[in-house]
Amino acid sequence: MKELQARLALFSAIEGGHVFWSQEISSSGAEYVYKKLSTGGYDQVKFAKTIDCLRATNTSAIAKSIEIAGAQFITPAMEQWPSQLNELVAVPIGLVVKGNIEVLKERGLAIVGTRNPTPYGVRNAGDFAAGFVDREWTIISGGAYGIDSAAHKGALIAEGSTVAVLAAGIDVAYPAGNSRLFAEICENGALVSEVLPGAHAIPSRFLTRNRIIAALSQATLVVEAAFRSGSLRTARDAAELMRPVMAIPGPISAPTSEGCHRLIGERSAELVTSVADAIELISTL
DSSP letters of 82-112? -GGGGGSSS--S-EEEEE-GGGGGS-EEEEE
Q: Is the residue at 84 inside a domain?
A: no
150 and 40 assigned to the same domain: no
Supply the pLDDT for residue 205: 95
Q: Where are the alpha helices (DSSP H) in 200-242?
A: 203-216, 230-240
pLDDT one-digit tens code per residue, 132-167:
999 999 999 999 999 999 999 999 999 999 999 999
Domain count, the chain: 2
pLDDT one-digit tens code per residue, 234-277:
999 999 999 999 999 999 999 999 999 999 999 999 999 999 99
DSSP letters of 7-61? HHHHHHHS-TT-HHHHHHHHHH-HHHHHHHHHTT-S-TTTTHHHHHHHHT--HHH
Q: Is the residue at 62 inside a domain?
A: no
221 and 123 assigned to the same domain: yes
Distance, CA of 223 to chain centre: 17
Query: CATH number for the domain including 242?
Result: 3.40.50.450
Provide the 8-state DSSP code for 199: P
Supply the pLDDT for residue 283: 84
Among left, alpha and beta (phi > 0; psi -120 to 50; other), residue 75 is beta
272 and 156 assigned to the same domain: yes
Q: What is the dihedral of CA 254, 256, 257, 262, to 10 degrees?
A: 110
Residue 44's domain spans which residues? Answer: 1-57
* Mean pLDDT over each residue of the chain, to the nearest integer: 95
Supply the pLDDT for residue 33: 96
52 and 117 assigned to the same domain: no
22 and 148 assigned to the same domain: no
Q: Is the residue at 250 inside a domain?
A: yes
Q: pLDDT exceeding 70 applies to what percent of the chain?
A: 99
Supply the pLDDT for residue 32: 96
Q: Is the residue at 26 inside a domain?
A: yes
Supply the pLDDT for residue 1: 59
The pTM for the full model equals 0.95
Cα(147)–Cα(127) distance, rounded to whole angstroms? 11
117 and 188 assigned to the same domain: yes
Q: Is the residue at 13 inside a domain?
A: yes
113 and 221 assigned to the same domain: yes
109 and 179 assigned to the same domain: yes
Cα(134)–Cα(29) distance, rounded to whole angstroms? 41
Residues 194, 16: contact at Cβ < 8 Å? yes
Q: Is the residue at 94 inside a domain?
A: no
Give ∠ CA 247-250-256 in degrees, rounded to 5: 90
DSSP letters of 117-163? --HHHHHHHHHHHHHHHHTT-EEEE---TTHHHHHHHHHHHTT--EE
Residue 258's closest CA among 266, 269, 250?
A: 250
Query: Can you give the length of the chain in residues?
Result: 285
Residue 268: φ, ψ to 5° = -90, -15
Give ∠ CA 250-256-258 in degrees, rounded to 5: 70
179 and 275 assigned to the same domain: yes
- 285 pLDDT higher than 70: no
Cα(69)–Cα(169) distance, rounded to whole angstroms? 9
9 and 138 assigned to the same domain: no
Q: Is the residue at 86 inside a domain?
A: no
pLDDT one-digit tens code per residue, 70-125:
999 999 999 999 999 999 999 999 999 999 999 999 999 999 999 999 999 999 99
Q: Is the residue at 108 inside a domain?
A: yes
**Tell me, what amino acid is at 16?**
G
106 and 244 assigned to the same domain: yes
130 and 11 assigned to the same domain: no
